Amino acid sequence: MDFRHLQYVITVAEERSFSKAAQRLFIAQPSLSQFIKKVESDLQVQIFDRSKTPILLTKEGKLFVERSKTILRMYEETKIELHKLSRGTINKVTIGAPLIMSNLLLPDLLNDYKMIDPPVKIIPVESSSQELEELMEKGKIDFSIITVPTNHNKFHYEPIVSEQFIYALPKNHPLVDNDVESLYISEGISSNKLNDFPLLLTKNGGVRSILNHYFEKNDINPNIVFESKNLDTILSLVNAGLGISIVPKMFMEREFKWKSLDIKYAFFEDHPPEITLGIAYKKGKSISPMLKETIEITKRNLLIKYR
């Protein structure tokens, strides 16, 4: 049996007549009848009930026609994919994203990547900035969204957007006016207050490096009581009233949409620390048109969301 026989059976089922199906298929009716009998003999079932006019599918025939349509559709889709593959138009791109904010970046990005034509398989890798650099150097990631300037000797780095860090506080914190229903506190908080309250921070990574530099530059000795690699863990502890934290402003914007936590946010009264999101890839890497388009979509997405 070959794919032609499957199409013959489907056509007879659709026309409910051997003569009409033969005309549509441009073959002689006797030949078509012989083909169908050969299929039924191979399967050892009767596909058509010929005692009826017009002819009807048996229950076995209905299943066979349904599966035949699926097989032919998969065959055509496979031919298209093979054709694209032979032209080098099907490929994959492995993209690194900072673990601390991948849940903010990836959903919209993955949706935007669907615009790429011909389609490309996107493989996201979530990790710390340091680990993303190591993977890029080994050639295991095509490019990454990086939260801090990277090693310019090894990587091409292009900063895209910068945004401020803000405070995240429990709703019952002394600095919060409980009568204010807004998500953020209108009055800023001085950075010297960081010495007065227990602080919950991310452990290591690009965000922590930025904050450590900020503390040192401004002679701040924060009372860090808990550290975690996961910023959502930090925010859940803030929500429970165990301390305050410092997060990129995009997390407040997430709360506007999700409203998953009962946290208040406040801006820095003085010069706030800032985080820069950029695109990095290994120097000397070959940038195909497909990879270039993926990078451009990433840059546009970041600019639209965070500039």
For the chain, the residue count is: 307
**pLDDT for residue 179:** 58
233 and 247 co-located in one domain: yes
281 and 270 co-located in one domain: no
166 and 269 co-located in one domain: yes
The rounded distance, in Å, linking the Cα atoms of 98 and 204 is 12
Q: At 122, which CATH number?
A: 3.40.190.10
CA torsion 58→64→68→74, rounded to 10°? 140
**pLDDT for residue 171:** 84
Q: Are strands 56-57 and 48-49 parallel, antiparallel or unpaired?
A: antiparallel
The rounded distance, in Å, linking the Cα atoms of 108 and 111 is 5
Which residues have a Cβ under 8 Å from the Cβ of 100 and sit 6 or more positions away? 128, 147, 202, 205, 206, 207, 229, 230, 231
Q: The pTM is what?
A: 0.63
72 and 96 co-located in one domain: no
**pLDDT for residue 232:** 83
The rounded distance, in Å, linking the Cα atoms of 134 and 57 is 61
**pLDDT for residue 151:** 67
Full domain range(s) for residue 63 = 3-86
Q: For residue 121, with 0-12 CB atoms within 10 Å meaning exposed, 13-18 middle and 19 or more buried, which class applies?
A: exposed
121 and 203 co-located in one domain: no
CB 303 within 8 A of CB 279: no
**pLDDT for residue 150:** 67
Final residue of a domain: which of 86, 102, 117?
A: 86
**pLDDT for residue 117:** 76
197 and 56 co-located in one domain: no
**pLDDT for residue 62:** 92
**How do residues 208-248 score in pLDDT, each as one tens digit?**
888 999 999 988 899 999 998 888 888 899 999 999 999 98
Final residue of a domain: which of 63, 86, 109?
A: 86
Query: Count of domains in the chain?
Result: 3
- Helices 205-217, 129-137: inter-axial angle, 10-degree rounding: 120
179 and 224 co-located in one domain: yes
CB 223 within 8 A of CB 198: yes
Residue type, 45: V
Q: For residue 190, with 0-12 CB atoms within 10 Å meaning exposed, 13-18 middle and 19 or more buried, which class applies?
A: exposed
pLDDT profile of the chain (307 residues), mean per 10 = 82 91 90 90 91 90 91 81 61 87 85 83 88 90 84 84 90 74 72 88 84 90 89 89 90 69 86 90 84 91 81
63 and 203 co-located in one domain: no
**pLDDT for residue 202:** 86
149 and 204 co-located in one domain: no
Buried b (16+ CB within 10 A) or exposed e, 241-272: eebbbbbbbbbbbbbeeeeebebbbbbbeeeb
